[in-house]
Structure 1
Amino acid sequence: MAHTYPGGGDEDRTAPEDDPHRAAGWELETFEDPEQAAAEEQEWHVHLPLFFRVIDSVVKTVMVVFLVVLLVAVGANVFGRFVLNTSLPASAELARFLFIWVIFLGAALAHLHNEHIAVTVFVDRLTPAARRWVVVLQEVIILVVVVALLLSAVQVMSIDPGTSALLNVPLQWVNFSVPFSAGLMGLITLYRIAVALRSSPEQKAA
């Protein structure tokens, strides 16, 4: 099965007729060879538009930092409970807030990489042209859900929940993870729709 890495230029070094339902992402078929997987990931990244390359790099970096701090906070709390025989409530609160951000950033990043769980057994049996339109329909549904999530998040953000009990962190900072992630996923979904339409077999034959 051919890989697809659209975006950066006029060329889509792909076999769209072979794997059109992956037109907006790079499907790593196997992780048996880590070096090959890393090389394919890097090649996919290079062919993204600049905006999404920056988003990809920044979100990955932020997630790594958050995960490191999260592990330190959880580890400190475990050490406190089992060694010092005392809990560290502030570290637990910090870990909870970081965990929320990691979840929503990870959802947006997985959407960009086309790595959310999907059952494609029926889609794989369709013709290339039909598969492309299924992808477009799928992304439109995702866009509707993301917009609904974004609008709900904006309503939540309009209410000031105050600050956290221990760290005195504005809870709006925590709530902002939802509209931020929804906004990213909305942009990614629009990009995926554009790529699916642009690289449709009918257009390439024209």
Structure 2
Amino acid sequence: MHAIKRWADRILATTCIVLCGLLVVAVTWQVIGRFFFNASGAVSEELAKIMFVWAVLLGAALLFGEKGHMAIELGLDMMSARNQTIFQIIISLLILGFVTSILLIGGIDAVDRTMRQTNAAIPFIKTGQIYLALPLSGAFSVFYCVYNIWNDFKSLTGTGQGQTSKMEG
């Protein structure tokens, strides 16, 4: 499971880096077009929006996999390590339900409903292809959530001690 996580991390990180680089190019082209030619292309503006949305959603999934997401830990310090792990598993299960229903299932539904619509600025791109970032982000987030629950459960039962230090290093 650790190898799959490393593979998913590499895919998401590489994709986000490429998207950010292309986003810089598209926005730079927009600025040059506006400054020098008093006009900017609708295609580059729309591509910048699409790349930004994809980078945000896939970057959020990557951040979730690194447990770098925002967390309110009020009162968590007062719990024992065992109770903190149990609490983390419960929270991860709630997040799993949300991510599965909203991003994965809802995203698949959004893609299905909009796959026949074309984008106004870029007619060769379907709106459903743009929305494909939702279920992809959801699928990665579901995997990371299951991975985190599995690791927390292993540490709770004592079978995973020493595993996390190898992963972190």
Smaller-chain TM-score range? 0.7 to 0.9
Unaligned runs of 5+ residues in structure 1 are 1-47
Conserved in 2, the CA contact under 8 Å of 1:129 and 1:202?
Answer: no
Out of 153, 158, 164, the residue aligned to residue 197 of structure 1 is: 153
Question: For residues 60 and 204 of structure 1, what CA distance do their matches in structure 2 show?
Answer: 26
Superposed CA offset, 1:63-113 (max 9, x none):
111111111111111111122211221100000111111011011000011
The letter for the 2-side match of 1:152 is G
Residue 105 (structure 1) aligns with: 58
CA distance in 2, matches of 1:119, 1:174: 32
> For residue 116 of structure 1, what is the amino acid of its counterpart?
H
CA contact (8 A) 1:129 1:200 kept: yes
Q: Does 1:96 align with 2:34?
A: no
Note the 1:136-151 alignment, pairs <5 A: 136-149=89-102, 150-151=104-105
**Structure 1 residues 204 and 65, CA, compared in 2 at 3 Å: closer, same or farther?**
closer
SS of 2:73's equivalent? coil
> What residue number does 1:165 align with?
120
Larger helix share, 1 or 2: 2
Q: Distance in 2 between matches of 1:76 and 1:157?
A: 29
The alignment of Structure 1 onto Structure 2 pairs a total of residues equal to: 158
Match of 1:68 in 2: 21
Pick closer, same or farther for the CA change 1:55–1:202 going to 2, 3 Å: closer
Letter in 1 for 2:112: S
Structure 2: stretches of 5+ with no match in the other structure: 162-169
Q: Which residue does 1:187 correspond to in 2?
A: 143
Structure 1 residues 52 and 204: CA distance shift in structure 2, 3 A = closer
Paired residues of 2:111 and 2:129 also in contact (CA < 8 A): no
Change (3 A) 1:202 1:55: closer
Structure 1 residues 1-206: aligned runs within 5 Å: 49-149=2-102, 150-159=104-113, 160-168=115-123, 169-200=125-156
Partners of 2:82 and 2:8 lie apart in 1 by 30
CA RMSD of aligned residues (A): 1.8
The amino acid across from 1:167 in the alignment is I
- State the identity as a percent: 25
Runs of 4+ aligned structure 1 residues displaced above 3 Å come to 201-205
